Each structure stands twice: as C-alpha cells, then as structure tokens.
C-alpha cells in the first residue's frame, strides 16, 4: 500500500473520531429514532435525489418541482432535529472541504506557478 493510501486511511479514521462526525452521527440517530422526523427527512432526501438525477441526465426541472422542493426544504428546516442534523452535516462538509483544499494544494501551486 502506498504512503498516500495509508495516510488516506488514517485520515478516514480521524474523520470518524472527530467531534464534527460524532455530532453528525448523534444528530442523525436522533432524526432516525423519531418517526415523524425520519419520514420528513426521507421525503427531503428523496426529493433531493430525484432533482439531482434529473440534473445529471440533462433533463429540465419544472417550476412545479422547484416549488415542491422549496416547500420540502422549508418544512424540514422548521423541524428542530432535522435542522440540527443539517447544521451538523454542514460542519462535516466544511471540515472535508478544508482537508480537500489542503491535499490539493500541490496541484494548485503547480498550475498557478508562473512559467
């Protein structure tokens, strides 16, 4: 196994042990243990996936679908447990983005160097 892959494996473990991931897992478990919150969250995820699939296929998203998605988002944001889950997910995404910027820095420097 290469040193880079070993570092990636260590990074995966560090992410699992991070406060950000632990907070996300707790928030996720809280949503999944509440029937109403789980149903609302599942509806939100289904809507999200359907729109992403249409986008990837190059299909047009109708105004009706946009309105439905907006209403679903507004509804889930009003539910405290789901809102907390979304906030915790953002914390993890911020952490992953920061790690991504760090590990891609050599490429950024290479391509931005004046030749």
What pLDDT, on a 0 to 100 scale, did the predictor assign at position 114?
66
CA separation for the pair 26, 87 (Å, rounded): 12
What pLDDT, on a 0 to 100 scale, did the predictor assign at position 110?
94
Residue 40 has pLDDT above 90, yes or no: yes
- The radius of gyration of the chain from alpha carbons, rounded to an integer in Å, stands at 19
3-class SS of residue 44:
helix
Q: How many CA atoms lie within 13 A of 98 on its CB side?
A: 9
Number of domains in the chain: 1
What number is the average pLDDT over the span 52-79? 92
pLDDT band at 76 (very low <50, low <70, confident <90, very high): very high
What pLDDT, on a 0 to 100 scale, did the predictor assign at position 115?
57
Task: Look up the domain containing 24 and give its range.
Answer: 3-112
CATH of the domain at 68: 1.20.1500.10
Q: What percent of the chain has pLDDT over 90?
A: 96
pLDDT band at 28 (very low <50, low <70, confident <90, very high): very high
What number is the average pLDDT over the span 9-28? 98
């Amino acid at each position: 196994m290469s040193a880079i892959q070993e570092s990636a494996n260590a990074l995966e473990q560090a992410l699992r042990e991070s406060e950000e991931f632990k907070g996300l897992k707790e928030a996720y478990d809280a949503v999944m243990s509440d029937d109403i919150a789980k149903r609302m969250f599942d509806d939100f995820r289904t809507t999200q996936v359907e729109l992403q699939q249409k986008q990837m296929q190059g299909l047009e998203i109708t105004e009706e679908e946009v309105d439905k998605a907006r209403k679903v988002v507004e509804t889930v944001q009003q539910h405290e447990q789901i809102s907390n889950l979304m906030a915790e997910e953002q914390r993890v995404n911020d952490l992953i983005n920061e790690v991504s910027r760090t590990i891609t820095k050599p490429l950024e420097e290479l391509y931005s160097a004046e030749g």
